[in-house]
Copies of this chain bind each other. A is one copy, B any other.
């Protein structure tokens, strides 16, 4: 396989983008990333597009063609492929693009992720997000993603003594990070008291433990390492790309306080990269709910099982800490349009490795990891980027 590098990364502002449709968001992401890469649409040989549920959100399928059309790529017949895996949609689109360049089939590939959630009611949006869980065994009986993650949180508290305050610290940290990110949806700072006092969604999770409903898009351009070196002295290389599955329904897992797919994916990505977790300078991990970041960091290996709650509480994962996590604000504060989230994580790592994450820069960042989760953990992808 050929080595693959990222030569451009960009995203729209995330938020409630009332004035823009999905095609507008796709077009904006595409224009921004080409400007960043110093390329023209004519340079792009293929498009991969992450979108979770435009069929539900805007009554439109065939999303690859839609975005290729509106980004001006259809004029030349450029192949466009939509990929979907719940919240892990973006990173799977990235992985397909990575494999396409690695295979030799194409030299320059654009990967976008986009979602438009706010054309339906909040209730419909939440219901559709839950379609990443198991319809027949979970959703049909009233479970939502929030209530399923609430079960994980309760069990984590029961088994390991994790506290509501520790959950709240994740939200406080990620909002603090997001306040420094002009593209973030939520730039307000929080306190532990405020998170604990917020309206309850599914005990022990309140509304400030949950990522928001978001519109937004993000995109990156991949090419061969050779070609990247012609463009820049410091290419950002995809050192590891791995993906794993687990059962769709939570009750089929051996544990609900650990996500096996995360363990498999991080193992795969680190081994391909020839690195250890301690080599990372920063990580973007799944924090769709506060408990999710705690579980993710345990499964990634930053904390022992059950000890993840301490990390945000003790400042380990804050900017300036030993291992900054979700410097973008994460899903929690940057926002979580599911098709775009996995790509937005890559945009953050890229910006950090390029030293251009103004207002939230991790000093001397050289290696970063992105961890993207679909549903309650049935799909996980991990990517490791390094600036050479």
Cross-interface CB contact of A260 among B66, B77, B100, B248, cutoff 8 Å: B77
Name A243's closest neighbour in chain B (CB-CB): B79
Q: Tell whether A120 is near chain B: CB-to-CB under 8 Å.
A: no
Could you tell me the distance between the alpha carbons of A100 and B374 in the complex, rounded to whole angstroms? 21
Q: Which residues of B contact A68 (CB under 8 A)?
A: 245
Do A82 and B85 touch across chains, with their CB atoms under 8 A apart?
A: yes
Q: Which residues of B contact A221 (CB under 8 A)?
A: none
- Chain A binding surface, main DSSP class: mixed
Do B56 and A56 touch across chains, with their CB atoms under 8 A apart?
A: yes
Q: Tell whether A1 is near chain B: CB-to-CB under 8 Å.
A: yes
Do B69 and A252 touch across chains, with their CB atoms under 8 A apart?
A: yes
Q: Tell whether A96 is near chain B: CB-to-CB under 8 Å.
A: yes
Do B79 and A96 touch across chains, with their CB atoms under 8 A apart?
A: no
Do A81 and B77 touch across chains, with their CB atoms under 8 A apart?
A: no
Do A84 and B85 touch across chains, with their CB atoms under 8 A apart?
A: no
Q: Tell whether A83 is near chain B: CB-to-CB under 8 Å.
A: yes
Could you tell me the distance between the alpha carbons of A244 and B75 in the complex, rounded to whole angstroms? 10
Contact with B along A296-312 (1 / 0, CB 8 A): 00000000000000000
How many copies of the chain does the oligomer comprise?
A: 2
Q: Tell whether A159 is near chain B: CB-to-CB under 8 Å.
A: no
Q: Tell whether A273 is near chain B: CB-to-CB under 8 Å.
A: no
Minimum distance in angstroms from A144 CB to a CB of chain B: 13
Minimum distance in angstroms from A140 CB to a CB of chain B: 8
Cross-interface CB contact of A62 among B59, B78, B80, B378, cutoff 8 Å: B378
Q: Which residues of B contact A64 (CB under 8 A)?
A: 84-85, 92, 245, 379
Do A248 and B59 touch across chains, with their CB atoms under 8 A apart?
A: no
Name A267's closest neighbour in chain B (CB-CB): B77
Could you tell me the distance between the alpha carbons of A103 and B95 in the complex, rounded to whole angstroms? 12
Minimum distance in angstroms from A286 CB to a CB of chain B: 14
Minimum distance in angstroms from A23 CB to a CB of chain B: 8
Minimum distance in angstroms from A73 CB to a CB of chain B: 7
Interface size on A, residues (CB 8 A): 63
Q: Tell whether A61 is near chain B: CB-to-CB under 8 Å.
A: yes
From 338 to 388 in chain A, residues with beta carbon under 8 angstroms from any chain B beta carbon are 374-375, 378-379
Q: Which residues of B contact A247 (CB under 8 A)?
A: 69, 74
Q: Which residues of B contact A82 (CB under 8 A)?
A: 83-85
Could you tell me the distance between the alpha carbons of A105 and B139 in the complex, rounded to whole angstroms? 35
Q: Tell whether A53 is near chain B: CB-to-CB under 8 Å.
A: yes
Q: Tell whether A29 is near chain B: CB-to-CB under 8 Å.
A: no
Could you tell me the distance between the alpha carbons of A243 and B80 in the complex, rounded to whole angstroms? 8
Residue with the greatest number of chain B CB neighbours at <10 A, chosen from A77, A103, A379: A77
From 244 to 271 in chain A, residues with beta carbon under 8 angstroms from any chain B beta carbon are 244-249, 252, 260-261, 264
Q: Tell whether A335 is near chain B: CB-to-CB under 8 Å.
A: no
Do B74 and A246 touch across chains, with their CB atoms under 8 A apart?
A: yes
Do B80 and A245 touch across chains, with their CB atoms under 8 A apart?
A: yes
Given known A82-B83, A102-B105, contact A135–B245 (CB-CB < 8 A): no
Name A61's closest neighbour in chain B (CB-CB): B131
Q: Tell whether A15 is near chain B: CB-to-CB under 8 Å.
A: no
Minimum distance in angstroms from A48 CB to a CB of chain B: 9
Given known A103-B103, A260-B77, contact A131–B55 (CB-CB < 8 A): yes
Contact with B along A130-165 (1 / 0, CB 8 A): 011111100100000000000000000000000000
The 7 listed contacts between A and B (C-beta, < 8 Å) are A56-B56, A59-B135, A62-B86, A65-B85, A66-B134, A74-B247, A80-B379
